[in-house]
């Protein structure tokens, strides 16, 4: 079967984008990806839009974006699995090309979030949890991940300082990323002293809502090789789901969907955790990154706190360099765009084009994108030509 390669990437600025509609945000990323690919619009035979429609007044968002990008009459459709919508769009486009139905597909993750208030957003996100038995009692994303943090601390001795170290790392790399929402470094002390949100999580343990878009153009092997330069290949895709209710899960210190998705992606790409040099993981909260280290096999279960404390997830730290674009924590989290943004960063790294954030000799990269509170997880493995 044909391989699927990335031939173009584009990324807009994440932040409070009162200067642009969601269509304009999508165009910002698409224009950059189209130029990067060096192709004409007419060569794109489909698009997949990753977004969560509840945040927009416009329903049927895919058609509006497709029209604004002047891609009609090529087909388009929307993927939505909460915060993993962008990675679901990547997987859908990959399947369309692998099947032979399409040759070149534009994947666009876009989201306009800051027009809603924080309480409105918290209420929307809370309903991603099980509505009948959980969200009706006021559960929110910070509340759920606070439970994960307490469980991890109780089981393995993880500390608040180790949580804060995740934020320090990601802010240090976010300061080097011109597309990030927060471009400033912080100290462990500042993170520890920030206001509490949901014990044990404080402000600097939590990512921020943002507006933004990212675009990846995928192509079949023949079309990618005809592109005329080295290609980054999407060689492994994994996806799994877990129970909507956290009460039905075996524990609260791991995401079973992430473990399963990672195993699928590794098998398909014929690699293992030790082969990965750089990864983008879903650090919606600092504990989520620590859990990801373990679920992806970068370290043993319970050793995630030590992994960050020993700086193994830094560039040159001796482990897998993680979230060297700032992650959700510093880059921002426009939920529909996040998974595609992760792909953009990995492609940059494998091309050797990440400048001050470059991981030396990166050959295999991974993205880990979680929807909801772990109900959906997508893990993708990329390899350079």
Active site residues: 83, 333
Which residues touch 52 (CB under 8 Å, ≥6 apart)?
80, 82, 83, 85, 111, 335, 336
Taking the C-alpha atoms of residue 167 and residue 207, their distance in angstroms, rounded to an integer, is 9
Query: Is 316 within 8 Å of 348 (Cβ atoms)?
Result: no
Q: ∠ CA 181-279-130 to the nearest 5 degrees?
A: 75
Taking the C-alpha atoms of residue 151 and residue 105, their distance in angstroms, rounded to an integer, is 42
Query: Is 326 within 8 Å of 177 (Cβ atoms)?
Result: yes
Taking the C-alpha atoms of residue 122 and residue 36, their distance in angstroms, rounded to an integer, is 37
Q: How far apart are the first and last CA of the chain?
A: 17
Which residues touch 228 (CB under 8 Å, ≥6 apart)?
none
What separation in angstroms does the CA of 243 have from each of 248, 373, 376?
6, 10, 9
Sign of the alpha-carbon torsion through 197, 202, 203, 208: negative
Nearest to 201 by CA among 125, 123, 284, 131: 284
Taking the C-alpha atoms of residue 95 and residue 285, their distance in angstroms, rounded to an integer, is 31
Query: Is 380 within 8 Å of 236 (Cβ atoms)?
Result: yes
Structure tokens at 315: 């560039």
SS3 144: helix
Inter-residue long-range contacts of 69-74, CB under 8 Å, 24+ positions, other chains counted: 69/23, 69/26, 69/27, 69/30, 69/41, 69/106, 69/108, 70/41, 71/41, 71/44, 71/47, 71/106, 74/44, 74/45, 74/46, 74/47
- 370 exposed, middle or buried (CB, 10 Å; 0-12, 13-18, 19+)? buried
């Amino acid at each position: 079967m044909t391989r699927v390669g990335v031939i173009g990437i584009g990324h807009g600025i994440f932040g409070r984008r009162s200067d642009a509609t969601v269509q304009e945000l999508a165009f910002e990323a698409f224009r950059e990806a189209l130029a990067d690919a060096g192709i004409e619009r007419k060569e794109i035979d489909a698009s997949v839009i990753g977004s969560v429609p509840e945040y927009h007044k416009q329903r049927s968002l895919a058609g509006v974006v497709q029209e604004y990008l002047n891609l009609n009459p090529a087909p388009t459709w929307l993927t939505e699995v909460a915060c993993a919508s962008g990675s679901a769009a990547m997987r859908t486009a990959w399947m369309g090309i692998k099947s032979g139905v399409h040759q070149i597909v534009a994947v666009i993750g876009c989201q306009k979030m800051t027009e809603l208030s924080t309480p409105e957003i918290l209420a929307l996100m809370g309903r991603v949890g099980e509505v009948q038995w959980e969200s009706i009692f006021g559960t929110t994303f910070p509340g759920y991940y606070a439970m994960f943090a307490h469980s991890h601390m109780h089981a393995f001795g993880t500390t608040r300082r180790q949580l804060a170290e995740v934020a320090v790392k990601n802010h240090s790399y976010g300061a080097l990323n011109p597309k990030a929402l927060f471009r400033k470094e912080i100290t462990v002390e500042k993170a520890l002293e920030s206001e509490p949100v949901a014990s044990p999580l404080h402000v600097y343990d939590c990512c921020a809502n943002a507006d933004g878009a990212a675009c990846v153009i995928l192509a079949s092997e023949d079309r990618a090789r005809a592109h005329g330069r080295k290609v980054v290949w999407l060689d492994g895709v994994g996806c799994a789901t877990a129970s909507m209710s956290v009460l039905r899960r075996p524990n609260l210190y791991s995401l079973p969907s992430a473990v399963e998705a990672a195993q699928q992606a590794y098998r398909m790409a014929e690699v293992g955790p030790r082969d990965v040099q750089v990864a983008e993981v879903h650090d919606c909260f600092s504990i989520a990154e620590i859990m990801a280290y373990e679920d992806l096999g970068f370290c043993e279960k319970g050793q995630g706190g030590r992994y960050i404390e020993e700086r193994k997830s830094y560039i040159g730290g001796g482990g897998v360099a993680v979230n060297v674009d700032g992650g959700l924590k510093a880059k921002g989290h426009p939920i529909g765009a996040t998974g595609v943004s992760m792909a953009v960063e990995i492609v940059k790294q494998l091309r050797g084009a990440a400048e001050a954030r470059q991981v030396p000799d990166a050959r295999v990269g991974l993205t880990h994108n979680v929807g909801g509170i772990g109900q959906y997880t997508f893990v993708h493995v990329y390899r350079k030509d």
